Amino acid sequence: NSKKFILIDNNIYKKINDNLKKLNLKKITIIKINFSEKIKTFNNYFKISSLLLKNRIDRSSIIISIGGGTLGDLSGFIASTILRGVNFILIPSTLLSQVDSSIGGKNGINSKYAKNQIGTIFQPKLVIIDPIFLNSLPMREIKSGYAEIVKHAIINDNKFFIWLEKNYKKILSLRNKEVIYAINKSIGIKLKYVQNDEKEKLTSSYSRSILNFGHTFGHAIETINNYNPNLNHGEAISTGMILAAKVSFEIGKIKQNELERIINHFKNCSLPIFNKAINKSNFFRIMINDKKNYNGKLNLILLNKIGKAYYHKNFDISKLKNMPFFSK
112 falls in which pLDDT band (50, 70, 90)? confident
180 is a domain residue: yes
Q: Are residues 143 and 291 in the same domain?
A: yes
45 is a domain residue: yes
Query: If you count them, how many residues does the chain have?
Result: 328
**103: exposed, middle or buried (Cβ count in 10 Å: 0-12, 13-18, 19+):** buried
125 falls in which pLDDT band (50, 70, 90)? very high
Q: How many domains does the chain have?
A: 2
Cα 68 to the chain's mean position, in Å? 10
DSSP state, residue 278: G
270 is a domain residue: yes
Q: Are residues 56 and 164 in the same domain?
A: no
Closest by CA to 125, choosing from 213, 60, 178, 177, is: 60
Q: Are residues 186 and 314 in the same domain?
A: yes
CATH code, domain with 41: 3.40.50.1970
Instruction: Round to whole Å and give the CA distance between 60 and 255.
Output: 54
**In the predicted structure, residue 182 carries a pLDDT above the cut 60:** yes
The last residue of one of the domains, among 134, 154, 184, is 134
11 falls in which pLDDT band (50, 70, 90)? very high
327 is a domain residue: no
Q: Are residues 167 and 262 in the same domain?
A: yes
Task: Give the per-residue pLDDT at 327.
Answer: 64
Q: Are residues 175 and 116 in the same domain?
A: no
328 is a domain residue: no
Indicate which residues carry an active-site annotation: 84, 106, 148, 190, 200, 208, 212, 215, 219, 233
pTM for the full model?
A: 0.93
Task: Give the per-residue pLDDT at 255.
Answer: 98
Instruction: Round to whole Å and give the CA distance between 290 and 135.
Output: 34
Task: Give the per-residue pLDDT at 20.
Answer: 82
Q: For the segment 239-290, what is each residue's pLDDT rounded down to a tens digit? A: 999 999 999 999 999 999 999 999 999 999 999 999 999 988 899 999 988 8
Q: For the segment 194-238, what is each residue's pLDDT rounded down to a tens digit? A: 999 999 999 898 999 999 999 999 999 999 998 888 999 999 999
| Cα angle 199-202-205, degrees, rounded to a multiple of 5 | 125
Can you name the residues that pair with 29 across neighbouring β-strands? Answer: 5
Closest by CA to 107, choosing from 5, 99, 97, is: 97
CATH code, domain with 309: 1.20.1090.10
36 is a domain residue: yes
18 is a domain residue: yes
Q: Are residues 176 and 239 in the same domain?
A: yes
23 is a domain residue: yes
Range of the domain at 256: 139-321
Q: For the segment 33-77, what is each residue's pLDDT rounded down to a tens digit? A: 988 778 999 999 999 999 999 999 999 999 999 999 999 999 999
Strand pairing category for 118-121 and 106-109: antiparallel
Task: Give the per-residue pLDDT at 47.
Answer: 97
Cα 201 to the chain's mean position, in Å? 19
Q: Are residues 219 and 120 in the same domain?
A: no
Q: Which helix or strand (DSSP H or E) is residue 125 part of?
A: none
Instruction: Round to whole Å and give the CA distance between 262 and 268.
Output: 10
Closest by CA to 244, choosing from 267, 212, 198, 197, is: 212
Q: Are residues 254 and 166 in the same domain?
A: yes
SS3 state of residue 244:
helix
